[in-house]
C-alpha cells in the first residue's frame, strides 16, 4: 500500500490538464481596484451578506490550516495567492499544461444583495484575468456569475464569451432552488449559445437551504460528505426538469463532488423514472443516458477503496470519457497526479483522464 | 428470481394506515372531541411522500377496487405473505400523524395507531410484527410511547423517517436510542419526509420522482450523522435498519467516510475504527428497491462485492409499493448462501425480538428444504 | 548502509524537526524528549512532504463529546490529508483493514488501543556521536 518512490511517471510526462485550481487574494483589498467606488465602499462597510451566522469564516471550521496545504503558504499571503509559488510548486512540478481556475468566493454566487453580486461577479472575472491568466498562459479563468440573477448572469456570460481565456461558466450548485428550475434556464441557454460548459464546484456557503434534507449537520466530517449528496440532488434536478432535453448541447462539469456515487444514482434515477414516467413525459430517455452525454466529473477527492480495483469497476460503468483529472491545489485534500490512482491504468485511460477528456470538452489545442 | 425456500422474514410491509374514524375508539375523549369537532377525522393523513394513486404507491394488481392498497388483511395474506412463503412480516404503517406540528396531537394519534395495529393486524394474523410509530419531534413523547408499547413483543422496532426536522444522530434524540436498547428494539429509518426542510440541499424539487430519488441522499446524511455523532459508540448494541432506502449507494459512502476519517479523526475522536467497519457491523438495509441496471446481474453482484458484507441486506417486499413485477422479488444471480442470509439469517440477527417467536425446529426444517 | 552526519545535535531541539538532505533524499530528523528519530520526508499515502507537517499530540476520547490529548509531540500530521503518523515508528494511525470487532472501551491509556494502519513512513536509524546526529540510509 505504501507508494514506491518514482522519479518520473507517465503522468508527469503526459503534461496534464488540471481541472480544479484555486487562486486566492493576497489580501482582501486586492479585489478593490476592480470594483466601482460605490461597491468598494459597500464591501468595506458591510462585507458580503451570506446565509450563515458567522462573518468572514465558515461555521464548520476546516481541519488544519483552514483546509489548506501547510506546505503551500507563500511568505506574503495565503496558499494560491502567489503565482510564482503556484508555478514552482504545482504547474511546473506536476507538468500542468493547462489549469482551470475555480474562484470560489467573492464572485457573488452566494451574495444575497443581487446588485452587489453583479458587481462582485464582474470584478472577480477581471481579477482572474489580470492577476493570473494574463501573466500565466497555462491558466484559464471561469466566468463566475450569480446564478440567482439570471438576467445579469446572461449579460456577463455574453460579455466574456469572446475571450477564449474564459473556458467555462462557474455557478454554485448550492442554489436557492434546485438548478433544474426554469428560472435558471436563461443561463443554460447562454452557456449553450456561447459554447461553454458550466462548472458546478462544491460551495461552502448555502443558497438558503440546509445542507441535508433533515437540517444542518453538526460536524465538518458530515458537512464534507454533504458536498456529494448535494451534487446528487443537483444532478437529479437537472435530469428530471428536462434541462438536458431542452438544451441538448449543454455540458455540465461537477467539480470536487466525487464521482463514485454517480453509477448508483444513475441506476436509481433510471428505475424510478421508468416507474413514474407519467409524471415526467418531458424526460424522454433514461436519466443515465443524459448523464453519460452531458456530465463530466473531476476526480479529486479520489475515492480509496481497500481494493483499488473496485474503483476501476465504477469508472468502467460510468465511462472513461467522463472523468477529468483535478488536484484542488492548494487545498488539503490535494491529489498528486503521480499517486492518485492506485490501480493499473492503460495508457489510453491515463491519456483520457489526465488530459484528453478535458482538451476535448474545453476545446483546448 | 422467486423466493426459493420457505420461512422468509419480510422486513418492510405496508398495511394501509387506518382512517381517522377508525382511530376514534383508541383515543381519549378530549382527542375524540377534537378530531370530530374540528373535522380532523374527515382527513386521510396521507403522507405527501406517498400519493395513493401514484404508480409507486401500489402495483396495479395489488390495488383494491375500493379502499386503500394494503387495506385488506386477506389481500395482504394472499399477495404479500403466501406467495413468498414468508413466515414473518414487519409492518411499517406510514401514517401522517407524525407530520403534525402539534406534538401532543401527534403523540395521541401515534399511540392510537400503535394500538390499532396491535388489535387489527397483529392479533388477527400471527405472522405479522410491527414498528412503533412515534412523534420523533418530541423525544420525550417518543420515549414514553416506546415504554408504553414495548411490553408487546410483537413490536420489534422503532419507526423514524429519513427526512425530518433534525438529523437523527443528534444528541437530543439519544433518549430514544436508550429506551430502544433497553427493550431490545431495533431502530428503523424509513423513506419518507415530514418536509420540515426542503428535500434537496438546494431546495424544493418540482417532481415526486425527484423527491423519491432524493431519499437515498437523505439516508446517506442520516448515516453520516449517526457515525459522526458517535451513536454507535454510545449504543454499541444498536442495530440501525434503513428501510426502502436503496443500497447500491453504500460502497461510495463506505469508501469516502473511511478515507475522510483518517484526516478528520481529531474532530470526532470517539470514532475508534474505520467507518466502513462500524457501518458494516451496525447498519442493515432492506432489499427493496433494488436500484441496479435491469437485466444486468453482473453489475449488481459487483456492487454487492464492493459493499463487502453479506450481513447487511434484509429481505423485503415493500408491499404494496411497486418495486418489482410478479414474484421476482429477489435479484438474479445470488448464491444459495446469500439468498438464505437475506431471507432469514440477517433478519434474525438484526431483530432480537424475532428470535423469541422462532422455534429451533423451524430453522432446521427450512435449512433442509431443497432450493427450488 | 551509508552513515552520514546530518546536523549537530543541538540544532534539533526537543519537539522540533530538521529536514536534511542525504544523498538526494529529504529526511526529517526529530527530537522526542532527547531521543532522535528520522523519517523520509515523503508520506506513504500520496507522497506529500510529511516532515513539514505539524508535530502533534494524539487526540483521544472516552466517548462522544469527550476530548483529551496524550503522547504530546510524539505524532506527525501530514500537511496534505492530515493523516497521523507515529514519529518513533513511522506507523500511520488509522487502519482501514482492522479485523477487531470489539466494542469501544471507556479507559484508553496510552493510545495503543487505536488500530494501527498499513501505511508506514520510511524510517532511518539515528545515532548521536559526540555532538553530531548520524543517519543511516
Q: Do B293 and A270 touch (CB under 8 A)?
A: yes
pLDDT at C105: 23
Distances (CA, A) of A4 to A13, A300, C88: 18, 21, 21
C-alpha cell at B22: 377508525
Structural domain boundaries, residue A191 = 13-362
Q: Let me know if residue A331 belongs to a domain.
A: yes
pLDDT for the residue B358:
54
Average pLDDT, chain B: 94
Q: What is the mean pLDDT of residues B340-359?
A: 88
Predicted local confidence at residue B364, as pLDDT: 42
ipTM of the complex: 0.95
* Domains held by chain A: number: 1
Residues on chain C touching B272 (C-beta within 8 angstroms): 61, 104, 113-115
Least CB-CB distance to C67: which of B269, B273, B277? Answer: B269
Chains with 3 or more CB pairs under 8 A to chain C: A, B
- Architecture of the CATH domain B8-360: Alpha-Beta Barrel (3.20)
Q: Is residue A1 part of a domain?
A: no
Q: What distances in angstroms separate CA C80 from CA A21, A258, A355, C41, C69, one per listed residue?
A: 15, 18, 24, 12, 22
- The residues in A 24-63 lying below 8 A from C, measured between CB atoms, are 63
Residue C92: beta bridge partners? Answer: C85
Helices (H) and strands (E) in chain C, counts: 0, 10
| Closest residue of chain C to B260, computed from CA coordinates | C81
User: What does each C-alpha distance from C103 to B226, B237, C100 come to in angstroms?
Assistant: 16, 9, 9
pLDDT confidence of residue C4: 85
The alpha-carbon gap from B28 to the nearest alpha carbon of chain A, in Å, equals 32
Element (DSSP H or E) covering residue B353: helix B352-357
CA–CA min distance A279, chain C (Å): 44
Query: What is the β-pairing status of strands C126-129 and C54-60?
Result: unpaired
Judged by CB atoms closer than 8 Å, whether chains meet at C47 and A335 is answered as no
Q: What's the CATH class of domain C3-95+105-136? A: mainly beta
At residue B357, the pLDDT reads 59
Find the mean pLDDT for residues B322-350.
97
Q: For residue C27, list its beta bridge partners.
A: C20, C40
C-alpha cell at A102: 475555480
> Using CB atoms, which chains have 3+ pairs under 8 A with A?
B, C
Amino acid C92: pLDDT: 86
In a 13 Å sphere around the CA of B6, the CA atoms on its Cβ side amount to: 11
Rounded to the nearest integer, the mean pLDDT of chain C is 80
Min Cα–Cα distance to chain A from C132, Å: 28
Nearest to B263 among C67, C82, C104 (CB): C82
Rounded Cα distance, A293 and A40, in Å = 42
B348 neighbors B358 (Cβ within 8 angstroms): yes
For residue B349, pLDDT over 90 is answered with yes
**Residue A347 belongs to a domain with what CATH number?**
3.20.20.140
Task: List residues bridging with A169 in a β-sheet.
Answer: A143, A198
| Domain positions in chain B | 8-360
Residue A148 resides in a domain: yes
For residue A88, what is the DSSP state? I
Q: What is the model's pLDDT at position C110?
A: 37
> What predicted TM-score, i.e. pTM, was given to this entire model?
0.94
Question: How large is the average pLDDT for residues B358-366?
Answer: 43
Mutation to test the B interface, candidates A59, A179, A222, A290, most B Cβ within 10 Å? A222
User: Do A64 and C77 make contact, defined as CB atoms within 8 angstroms?
Assistant: yes
Tell me the shortest Cα–Cα distance from A364 to chain C, in angstroms. 29
In a domain, A6, yes or no: no
Quick: pLDDT tens for A259-316: 999 999 999 999 999 999 999 999 999 999 999 999 999 999 999 999 999 999 999 9
Report pLDDT digits (tens) over B131-181. 999 999 999 999 999 999 999 999 999 999 999 999 999 999 999 999 999
Query: Stretch A30-44: mean pLDDT, rounded?
Result: 98
Question: Above 70 in pLDDT, residue B287?
Answer: yes
Amino acid at each position: 500500500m505504501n507508494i514506491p518512490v518514482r522519479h518520473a511517471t507517465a503522468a508527469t510526462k503526459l503534461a496534464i490538464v488540471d481541472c480544479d485550481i484555486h487562486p486566492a487574494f493576497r489580501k482582501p483589498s486586492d479585489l478593490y481596484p476592480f470594483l466601482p467606488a460605490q461597491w468598494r465602499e459597500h464591501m468595506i462597510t458591510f462585507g458580503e451578506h451570506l446565509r450563515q451566522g458567522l462573518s468572514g469564516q465558515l461555521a464548520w471550521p476546516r481541519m488544519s490550516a483552514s483546509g489548506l496545504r501547510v506546505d503551500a503558504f507563500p511568505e506574503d499571503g495565503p496558499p494560491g495567492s502567489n503565482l510564482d509559488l503556484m508555478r514552482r510548486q504545482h504547474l511546473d512540478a506536476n507538468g500542468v499544461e493547462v489549469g482551470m481556475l475555480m474562484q470560489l468566493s467573492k464572485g457573488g454566487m452566494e451574495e444575497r444583495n443581487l446588485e452587489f453580486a453583479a458587481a462582485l461577479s464582474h470584478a472577480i472575472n477581471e481579477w482572474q484575468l489580470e492577476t493570473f491568466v494574463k501573466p500565466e498562459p497555462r491558466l484559464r479563468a471561469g466566468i463566475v456569475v450569480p446564478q440567482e440573477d439570471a438576467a445579469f448572469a446572461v449579460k456577463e456570460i455574453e460579455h466574456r464569451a469572446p475571450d477564449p481565456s474564459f473556458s467555462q461558466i462557474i455557478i454554485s450548485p448550492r442554489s436557492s432552488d434546485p438548478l433544474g428550475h426554469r428560472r435558471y434556464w436563461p443561463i443554460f441557454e447562454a452557456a449553450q449559445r456561447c459554447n461553454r460548459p458550466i462548472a458546478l464546484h462544491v460551495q461552502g456557503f448555502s443558497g438558503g437551504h440546509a445542507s441535508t434534507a433533515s437540517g444542518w449537520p453538526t460536524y465538518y466530517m458530515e458537512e464534507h460528505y454533504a458536498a456529494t449528496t448535494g451534487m446528487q440532488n443537483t444532478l437529479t434536478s437537472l435530469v428530471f426538469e428536462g434541462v438536458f432535453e431542452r438544451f441538448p448541447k449543454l455540458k455540465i462539469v461537477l467539480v470536487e463532488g466525487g464521482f463514485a456515487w454517480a453509477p448508483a444514482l444513475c441506476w436509481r434515477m433510471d428505475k424510478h423514472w421508468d416507474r413514474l414516467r407519467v409524471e415526467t413525459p418531458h424526460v424522454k430517455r433514461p436519466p443515465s443516458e443524459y448523464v453519460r452525454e452531458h456530465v463530466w466529473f473531476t476526480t479529486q477527492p479520489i475515492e480509496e477503496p481497500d481494493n483499488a480495483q473496485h474503483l476501476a469497476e465504477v469508472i468502467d460503468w460510468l465511462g472513461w470519457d467522463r472523468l477529468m483529472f483535478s488536484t484542488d491545489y492548494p487545498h488539503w485534500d490535494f491529489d498528486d497526479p503521480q499517486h492518485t490512482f492506485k490501480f493499473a491504468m492503460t495508457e489510453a485511460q491515463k491519456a483520457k483522464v489526465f488530459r484528453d477528456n478535458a482538451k476535448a470538452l474545453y476545446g483546448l489545442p | 428470481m422467486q423466493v426459493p425456500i420457505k420461512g422468509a422474514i419480510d422486513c418492510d410491509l405496508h398495511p394501509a394506515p387506518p382512517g381517522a374514524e377508525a382511530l376514534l375508539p383508541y383515543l381519549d375523549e378530549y382527542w375524540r372531541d377534537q378530531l370530530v369537532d374540528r373535522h380532523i377525522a374527515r382527513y386521510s393523513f396521507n403522507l405527501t411522500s406517498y400519493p395513493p394513486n401514484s404508480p409507486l404507491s401500489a402495483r396495479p394488481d395489488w390495488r383494491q377496487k375500493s379502499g386503500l392498497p394494503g387495506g385488506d388483511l386477506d389481500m395482504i395474506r394472499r399477495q404479500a405473505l403466501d406467495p413468498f412463503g414468508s413466515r414473518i412480516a414487519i409492518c411499517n404503517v406510514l401514517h401522517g400523524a407524525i407530520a403534525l406540528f402539534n406534538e401532543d396531537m401527534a403523540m395521541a394519534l401515534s399511540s392510537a395507531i400503535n394500538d390499532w395495529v396491535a388489535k387489527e393486524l397483529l392479533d388477527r394474523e400471527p405472522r405479522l410484527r410491527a414498528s412503533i410509530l412515534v412523534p420523533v419531534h418530541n423525544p420525550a413523547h417518543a420515549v414514553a410511547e416506546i415504554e408504553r408499547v414495548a411490553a408487546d413483543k410483537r413490536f420489534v422496532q422503532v419507526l423514524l423517517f429519513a427526512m425530518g426536522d433534525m438529523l437523527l444522530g443528534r444528541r437530543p434524540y439519544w433518549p430514544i436510542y436508550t429506551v430502544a436498547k433497553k427493550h431490545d428494539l431495533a431502530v428503523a429509518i424509513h423513506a419518507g419526509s415530514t418536509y420540515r426542510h426542503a428535500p434537496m440541499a438546494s431546495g424544493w424539487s418540482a417532481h415526486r420522482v425527484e423527491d423519491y430519488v432524493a431519499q437515498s441522499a437523505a439516508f446517506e446524511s442520516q448515516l453520516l450523522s449517526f457515525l459522526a455523532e458517535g451513536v454507535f459508540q454510545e449504543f454499541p448494541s444498536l442495530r440501525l435498519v434503513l428501510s426502502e432506502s436503496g443500497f447500491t449507494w453504500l460502497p461510495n459512502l463506505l469508501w469516502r467516510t473511511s478515507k475522510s476519517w483518517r484526516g478528520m479523526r481529531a474532530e470526532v475522536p470517539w470514532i475508534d475504527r474505520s467507518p466502513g467497519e462500524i457501518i458494516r457491523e451496525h447498519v442493515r438495509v432492506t432489499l427493496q428497491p433494488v436500484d441496479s441496471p435491469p437485466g444486468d446481474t453482473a453489475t449488481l453482484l459487483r456492487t454487492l462485492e464492493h459493499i463487502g458484507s453479506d450481513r447487511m441486506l434484509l429481505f423485503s417486499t415493500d408491499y404494496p409499493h411497486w418495486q418489482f413485477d410478479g414474484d421476482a422479488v429477489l435479484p438474479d444471480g445470488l448464491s444459495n448462501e446469500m439468498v438464505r442470509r437475506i431471507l432469514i439469517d440477517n433478519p434474525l440477527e438484526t431483530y432480537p425480538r424475532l428470535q423469541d417467536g422462532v422455534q429451533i425446529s423451524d430453522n432446521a426444517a427450512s435449512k433442509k428444504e431443497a432450493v427450488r | 548502509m551509508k552513515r552520514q552526519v546530518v546536523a549537530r545535535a543541538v540544532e534539533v531541539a526537543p519537539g522540533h524537526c530538521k529536514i536534511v538532505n542525504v544523498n538526494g533524499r529529504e529526511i526529517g530528523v526529530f527530537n522526542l524528549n532527547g531521543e532522535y528519530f528520522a523519517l523520509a520526508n515523503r508520506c506513504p499515502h500520496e507522497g506529500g512532504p510529511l516532515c513539514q507537517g505539524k508535530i502533534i499530540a494524539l487526540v483521544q476520547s472516552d466517548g462522544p463529546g469527550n476530548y483529551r490529548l496524550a503522547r504530546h509531540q510524539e505524532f506527525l500530521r501530514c500537511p496534505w490529508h492530515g493523516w497521523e503518523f507515529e514519529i518513533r515508528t513511522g506507523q500511520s494511525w488509522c487502519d482501514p483493514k482492522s479485523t477487531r470487532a470489539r466494542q469501544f472501551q471507556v479507559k484508553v491509556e496510552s493510545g495503543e488501543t487505536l488500530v494501527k494502519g498499513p501505511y508506514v513512513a520510511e524510517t532511518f536509524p539515528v545515532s548521536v556521536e559526540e555532538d553530531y546526529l548520524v543517519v543511516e540510509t
